[in-house]
Amino acid sequence: MGNRNTAFESWVEKHPYLREVAQLQQVMAGVMKEHPDREPIDIKPASLERAIGRGIPVLREIALDRWVIEEAANLFLSLAEALAVAKLPPKIVQGAEQIRSLLSKNPDLAGPLIGEVITANRVISDHDSPDGEELDKDFTLFLAWIVLARVLEPLKRKMTPSLTGRRWRRGYCPLCGQLPAMAQLVRTEKGRERLLSCSCCNMKWEYRRIGCPYCGNEDQDTLKILEITEEPELRIDTCEKCRCYLKTYTAEGNEKVILADWTTLHLDFIGKNQGFQRSGYQMYGV
């Protein structure tokens, strides 16, 4: 954990514009490191195999154990409580305070809120905060994904055997179904491979080396790379067919930091400035 923090700190030092979002991450990490890992015992490997074999994201096919939802609901409230009193930008503190206040008056609401995110990837109910203000839906969704990414760690590990041997070479996340936010080139015994990374649940999976994961385009003439001169281990893969970009880490060793998505907001800025759009869910605004 110490090394991990140092790696994040030195990255933020080199990218000082990330300081605010790094402080947010630090408060959330402090709460989440106390959270214990528990195996999702009710989910059988055969059910995972079946969903993955049919190309269906696990969360769309398999109901989570009730206690997983309960744990997520508890962690959701703990995070809102911590952020509501943290020294962070007012928009975050207010968003967290609204959630905290709503859940303290309606403790049974956290479970359904988390459930809505899993089934619809949005907060669909009109849960107003007690003082009449509307809940910040984007922030609520953001926080719910942070919680799910953490609580679902054991399930992600449980899925690994079903994903090996190129069983899931699809352009969407095998766990939650979202489109990838980032990619990483890695060395395997089969040569260089590409991993895709989901910014919602933080799942990683193998994908073919060449081609746009958003539209399937494989025409080299319309797949271009934007190099980042100051950071040669980073690049932006663009597709002129669907006009999307994919942030890519071309090295290994610092993936915890770089694939966190919020650490490469400058690449989102460059990609959009060049007229491309982000297809993966946008957890952090630029």
Tell whether residue 239 is a contact of Zn ion (CB under 5 A): yes
Binding Zn ion (rule: CB under 5 A), the pick from 7, 56, 242, 257 is 242
Binding Zn ion (rule: CB under 5 A), the pick from 80, 141, 201, 226 is 201
Judged by beta carbon, residue 225 or residue 251, the one nearer Zn ion is: 225
Tell whether residue 246 is a contact of Zn ion (CB under 5 A): no
Instruction: Measure the CA–CA gap between 164 and 46, rounded to whole angstroms.
Output: 15
Binding Zn ion (rule: CB under 5 A), the pick from 73, 175, 181, 236 is 175
Cα–Cα distances in angstroms (integers) from residue 179 to residues 11, 19, 175, in the given order: 26, 27, 11
Which range in 102-110, 233-241, 251-259, 266-274 contacts Zn ion by CB under 5 A?
Answer: 233-241
Instruction: Measure the CA–CA gap between 239 and 219, rounded to whole angstroms.
Output: 9
Q: 229 phi and psi, to 5 degrees?
A: -55, -45
Q: Are 262 and 283 in contact (CB under 8 A)?
A: yes
| Least CB distance to Zn ion at residue 59 (A) | 8
Tell whether residue 215 is a contact of Zn ion (CB under 5 A): yes
Tokens of 183: 């990619």
Which range in 89-97, 136-144, 166-174, 184-192 contacts Zn ion by CB under 5 A?
Answer: 166-174
Tokens of 232: 């040669």
Among candidate residues 263, 275, 277, 268, the one with its CA nearest the CA of residue 26: 263
Tell whether residue 59 is a contact of Zn ion (CB under 5 A): no
In this structure, are strands 204-207 and 191-197 parallel, antiparallel, or unpaired? antiparallel
Q: Hey, what amino acid is at 252?
A: E
Coil vs helix vs strand at 234: strand
Binding Zn ion (rule: CB under 5 A), the pick from 76, 172, 214, 249 is 214
| Least CB distance to Zn ion at residue 177 (A) | 7
Tell whether residue 159 is a contact of Zn ion (CB under 5 A): no
Taking residues 66 to 105 in sequence order and writing x for each that binds Zn ion by CB under 5 A, - otherwise, the string is ----------------------------------------
Which range in 25-33, 102-110, 111-119, 235-243 contacts Zn ion by CB under 5 A?
Answer: 235-243
Tell whether residue 195 is a contact of Zn ion (CB under 5 A): no
Judged by beta carbon, residue 217 or residue 254, the one nearer Zn ion is: 217
In this structure, are strands 191-197 and 182-188 parallel, antiparallel, or unpaired? antiparallel
Judged by beta carbon, residue 223 or residue 257, the one nearer Zn ion is: 223
In this structure, are strands 204-207 and 182-188 parallel, antiparallel, or unpaired? unpaired
Number of residues that bind Zn ion (CB under 5 A): 15
Residues 6+ apart with CB under 8 A from 201: 59, 145, 148, 149, 152, 156, 173, 175, 176, 178
Tell whether residue 51 is a contact of Zn ion (CB under 5 A): no
Tokens 């195996």 correspond to 39
Residues that bind Zn ion (CB under 5 A): 173, 175-176, 178, 198, 200-201, 203, 212, 214-215, 217, 239, 241-242
